[in-house]
Amino acid sequence: MTTVEDALRRPDPAAGRRANRVAVRTFRPRRSWPVVIVGALVLGVAAPAAAEVASALAGAPLRTAVTSAAGEYAAGARWSDPVVRAASAVAALIGLVLIAAALVPGCGRSTGALTGTPELVVGLSRRGLKRTLAGAAHDVGGVCGARVSVGRRRVTVRVHTDLREAPELGTEVAAAVRGRLAELEPVRAFTVTARVRRWAG
């Protein structure tokens, strides 16, 4: 029989999903440098164009060397010209690259962790995550040193051992790292790969 206390302790699935979405949005990497570069380029082109249009409407066009040359070329250009087509293709390609850069997230500096509540968002730095996972790998018997690299969806563990025969060491290290990840409960699921190298000598 279900009591009131059991019902209150039972986690709410909707709240868990909402907390997951909040953590993903909070720790989603921002593409700051592309935004700054594109904004500077657009400003550099739009500001002279706006000044030229405003001055022409006021009856005293600026007629700078750059805007005058661009205006004369645009007035005589045709869509069938190879230069115009090439410039249009380059502009379209740049636009597609910028859209892809905006949609595809980069590698952030922090990894979000599940908390079960939207009001609490917890993150672990990539350096801290590497150290934690390296510590888990180093706790495995026979491991003399461990180095961890964290990608977007993959964790690669490189361990050194002085054992001459260690056929199951890679499997044990991967299991230990997966166990530590399960304790941390990151928002994204990681695939763990372990590589073993024996110390020379």
Let me know whether 83 and 162 are in one domain. no
Q: Are residues 99 and 175 in the same domain?
A: no
Is residue 77 in some structural domain? yes
Shared-domain flag, residues 38 and 63: yes
| Tens-place pLDDT, residues 120-147 | 667 777 888 889 999 999 999 888 889 9
The span from the first CA to the last CA of the chain, in angstroms, equals 65
Phi, psi of 127 (to 5 degrees): -65, -45
Q: How far is CA 168 from the centre of its chain?
A: 34
User: What's the pLDDT band for 46 if we cut at 50, 70, 90?
Assistant: confident
- pLDDT score for 174: 93
At 151-197, the pLDDT tens digits run 878 999 999 998 888 788 989 999 999 999 888 888 778 899 999 98
* 5 vs 167: CA distance, rounded Å: 49
In a domain, 12, yes or no: no
pLDDT at residue number 65: 67
pLDDT given at position 7: 41
Mean of pLDDT values over 98-103: 75
DSSP single-letter state for residue 47: H
Q: Which tokens go with 100?
A: 């892809």
Q: With 50 as the cut, is the pLDDT of residue 5 above it? A: no
Whether residue 34 contacts residue 118, with contact meaning beta carbons closer than 8 Å, is answered with no
The boundaries of the domain holding residue 94 are 32-103
Percent of the chain with pLDDT over 70: 67
pLDDT, residue 67, reads 64
Rounded mean pLDDT, 19-33: 61
> Count of domains in the chain?
2
- Encode burial over 26-51: b for 16+ CB neighbours within 10 A, e otherwise: ebeeeeeeeeeeeeeeeeeeeeeeee
Task: Give the model's pLDDT for residue 2.
Answer: 47
Q: In whole angstroms, what is the distance from residue 147 CA to residue 128 CA? A: 13
More confident residue, 119 or 4: 119
Q: If 0-12 CB within 10 Å is exposed, 13-18 middle and 19+ buried, where does residue 115 land?
A: middle
Shared domain for 144 and 194, answered yes or no, is yes
